[in-house]
Structure 1
Amino acid sequence: MDPASITQASATLNGKLRELPRAQSECTIYRVHRHLRNVNPKAYEPEVIAIGPYHHGSNNNEHLKMMEGHKLRYLQQLLAAKDPPDDVGRYVAALGGVEAEARRCYADLPETLTRAEFIQMLVLDGCFIVQLVRKFDRVGLRERNDPIFQMNWMINSLQRDLMLFENQLPFFVLCELYDLIEVPGQHSRFWYLLFNFFTSLYPGEGNTQKPIEVPRQVKHLLDFIHRSWLPPPQGSGGSSEVTIPSERLRFISSATRLKEAKVMFENRSKGKTLFDVRFEKGVMIMAPLTVEDRTESFLRNLIAYEQYFEHNQNNFVTDYVKFLDCIIDSSTDVAILSRQGIIDNWLGDEHKVAEMVNRLGDSVAGPGRSFVYAKMFEDVHKHCRKRRNRWMANLRRNHFNSPWAVISVLVGLVLLLLTATQTLFTILQVV
């Protein structure tokens, strides 16, 4: 290569290196990657409200513009409620001080978003969230004709939208605004208000964590929900006590197959989290799971969060969904679990529940180095390998897999009994 080409190539590469964006280690709010989004795009898209920059201002989001007026109205109510009335400049100044830090939280900010527009968005979106959860808790704060609290579906949609992976503000922004609106430093109270607002969205019981003293340890509302819906602590006797590396992991069969192998299912509804699945003396003990219209979106966004922050080694939602995918293959499996009160099916159609569960794991990275249900899976396999259980499973699968098969076996037994009886009488007559 001639010296001129070497010089030109070196200069070009050095220029690109200087223009290289900062490392994304500080980023906490991403867009869902294409492979995951394509499985079910609607699960990651807001229905009624855009929070943060990713869904603001798009021509495809006409249905979200109605809430922009409600954001302004909530801000106006906040300012007017103070005596004397508050100045919005105080909120703008407070968030202006953390604007640079907030920007660094986003992995894909639109280049056209100016500093003033970004701060305005933080103030409007953040004040709306803080005022919404305050009103949800205290009826006295609600205006007489507030449409958000006059329509039940609106709260349900807001609960769903405010936890979406892409629809987030940095948590410290919310805490800054809460300090201006309420008493500064009372973040345990804010934690309670948020948990109270989202509690009906959780499809099962969790092991609620106490408020975190340092707000910047919480990334955003989806991280808050993840932290507030924990599995049993290590060493509590639950399924997370012992883990087995994923390369040695063997998945278990569906509920139908397990039932054939004399595995029983039991609903443990009180005092245990959704993730505390146990296998004791041939009985799989599970807490109830509610499946409704928002459940798929709720689980998908938590899975997406765990996919982006997998280094936390706290992928209990992904692991639980993989466990569900193992035991649910068809509507028959859903029916077995529903009869035991383990699945509370608000969708009505058992096939829809099975289809939802089977697709939740699509384009999701498999279990990591430690799968929390691995030890329980091994115990199930040991139970199914017992000769008597294996024989019963084969018998049921091959000879009792339909009403007609049962009838044919019974007819065969009756004929065998009649033949034996006739032979016995013949022998007696000869004797």
Structure 2
Amino acid sequence: MGEPASGTLIQQNASASTEIDRVQVTIDQGEPRPHQDSSRRHYIYKVPDHFHKSSEQSYTPQVISIGPLHHGNKKLQKMENYKATYWKDFQQRARLTDGMILERIVKEIEEKVPACYEENRPNSDKPFAQIILHDATFIIEYFLRCRFPELQTDKDRAAITPWRAARMRLDFLLLENQLPFFIIEELYKLLLGVDEADRSRLPSFIDLIFDYFQGFNTQNHEKPGPNSDFRINHFVDLLRRFYLPPPNSPFSKKLKRPDNHDPVEGNCISQLARSKSGNHDPVEGNCISQLARSKSGNNDPVEEMYCTSQLAEAGMTFKKSESGRCLLELNFENGILEIPGFILNKDTELCARNLMAWEQLHYPTNEEYITDYFRLLDFLIDTDKDVGLLRRKKILVNRLGDKCATIVNNLCSNNVADTPSTLYYRKLCQDLGHFYNNPWNSWKIKLRRDLSTPWVIVTTVSAIFLLVLTLVQTVCSVISTVK
């Protein structure tokens, strides 16, 4: 593919130098990112070895490497030639012909991007900045071709077959296979120029990635507007946004501050802030005691969890939540557990594992919402019997066959704690455990198990009938004796 794809849709940018100045400023202001410790600037991680041992393919790219961590993998060499071609196309499309401009881009990348990686040494001799430039511009050019098929050439279609394209989409969602989002977005802006007419011909990069990953946006999150403060670290962070409820929704507030959250905590923190920090203050001691008491209920461990079939034996009813609910929004009330419908397919494991790795490596434990969701699924789905029950209730669509329960059980093995970390899911697990262990429900379980076969039922009924007859006979004998 020697010449760049042409068309009236994409106009050549005649103001690259001006854009570079703006890009430089934005890159300087691009960090730190949300939820990031100011003392730890990186947010692209090498996944720990024990994660890899659970499922190597879930963390390793199969078609294309992005960023330095998997660069140089010989199995992925085929796409490197297309990256070089797409880089040339991008240069021509953005009219980046000035050597000094390119030098400035390279300098900014070398100064700002390495700090985003926990490890940034590539497995090749290629300069770091060249890897980032080729990968970022490949993503831009490829996403544009996906959005506007008329930009595709015969060479594009021959090289990137439907199977390869489908797997590339998953490779873009691997935690070790990421670029800092801000560098891709700012390079993309070079195509927009400073002319309003040029801007109107192209979508924003946020629009572009929402379209490309729309299959993962199951809650139909709206695309952020031009004046939105929407910021992400990379594509795995975007995937996490798709799983979470919209920021201002009622469930979002409930997830962060569950119903059992004690207002004592907030009041005490305010009082402590106002109290003197010098000598011992009675307010301080009193508040610490109150905090200890209020926290003790929320932090009770989840001693044991029960699977779907066990909970059903205890009399629990399972119901599919009405459509539109957030995937994470399970609700238990009056013996009914409402679960949003979900699909388990071959992509679920890859997405789940990378999301859990991202949360555990980057977020505080009380914000591991998606990790806790899959922990809970691991509890609820233990055997094929549980899968069948959820399917009959139309809660689960199983596209994994008889491997479904095994895959769900393996998701959380060797990489996460045994019980939920977030207050919302901990409370939910405690409520389910209390329901199962309720004496009346325990008696129902025993009764169901004791009467599990027709012969047992017949024998029990016969015994009861004989007992009644014996009592009647005894009463009649007593009455006869009295007379």
TM-score bin (small chain): 0.7 to 0.9
Match of 1:170 in 2: 180
Match of 1:343 in 2: 396
Task: In structure 1, give the amino acid aligned to 2:41.
Answer: E
Q: TM-score, normalised by structure 1?
A: 0.79
Paired-residue identity, %: 27
| Larger deviation, residues 131-140 vs 69-78 | 69-78
Shift of 1:102: 0.3
2:428 aligns with 376
Distance 1:410 1:312, change over 3 A: closer
Query: Greater shift after overlay, 66-75 or 224-233?
Result: 224-233
Residue 44 (structure 1) aligned with residue 44 (structure 2): no
- 1:84-95 equivalence runs, <5 A: 86-87=96-97, 89=99, 90=101, 93-95=104-106
Counterparts of 1:28-427 in structure 2, within 5 Å, are: 28-57=43-72, 61-81=73-93, 86-87=96-97, 89=99, 90=101, 93-110=104-121, 117-147=127-157, 151-182=161-192, 189-201=204-216, 204-205=218-219, 210=224, 217-231=231-245, 233=247, 236-237=250-251, 240=255, 241-242=257-258, 245-311=298-364, 313-349=366-402, 352-366=403-417, 370-400=422-452, 406-413=453-460, 415-416=462-463, 419=466
| Shift of residue 301, structure 1, vs aligned partner | 0.6
Instruction: Tell me the amino acid that sits aligned with residue 311 of structure 1.
Output: P
- Secondary structure at 2:250 match in 1: coil
For 2:74, give the aligned amino acid.
E
Aligned residues: 395
Letter in 2 for 1:228: F
User: Residues of 2 paired with 1:88 and 1:72: CA distance?
Assistant: 18
SS in 2 for 1:196: helix
Q: In structure 2, do the counterparts of structure 1 residues 88 and 303 end up closer, same or farther at CA, with 3 Å as the change threshold?
A: farther
Alpha-carbon separation, structure 2, partners of 1:175 and 1:232: 23
CA contact (8 A) 2:302 2:426 kept: yes
Deviations 1:72-105 (A, max 9, x none): 33334434556xx653855564343232110111
Structure 2 Cα separation of the partners of residues 233 and 360 of structure 1: 27
Change (3 A) 1:288 1:104: same
Query: 1:407 is matched by which residue type in structure 2?
Result: P
Aligned partner of residue 98 in structure 1, secondary structure: helix
Instruction: Say whether the 8 Å CA contact 2:344–2:399 is kept in structure 1.
Output: yes
C-alpha change, 1:56 and 1:329, in structure 2 (3 Å) is: same
Q: How far off its partner does 1:39 sit?
A: 1.6
Root-mean-square deviation (Å): 3.5
- Flag the 1:397–1:24 CA change in 2: closer, same or farther, 3 A: farther
5+ long unaligned stretches in structure 2:
1-37, 262-296
* Larger CA deviation: 358-367 vs 251-260: 358-367
TM-score, normalized by length of structure 2? 0.72
Secondary structure of the residue aligned to 2:337 is strand
Alpha-carbon spacing, 1:295–1:109, altered in 2? closer, same or farther (3 Å): same
User: Structure 1 residues 371, 149: CA separation in 2 closer, same or farther (over 3 Å shift)?
Assistant: farther
2:323 match: secondary structure:
coil
Report the equivalent of 2:13: none
Q: Secondary structure at the match of 2:318?
A: strand
After superposition, the Cα gap between the structure-2 partners of 1:313 and 1:87, relative to the gap in structure 1 and judged at 3 Å, is: farther
- Note closer, same or farther for the CA distance 1:193–1:388 as it changes in structure 2 (3 Å cut): same
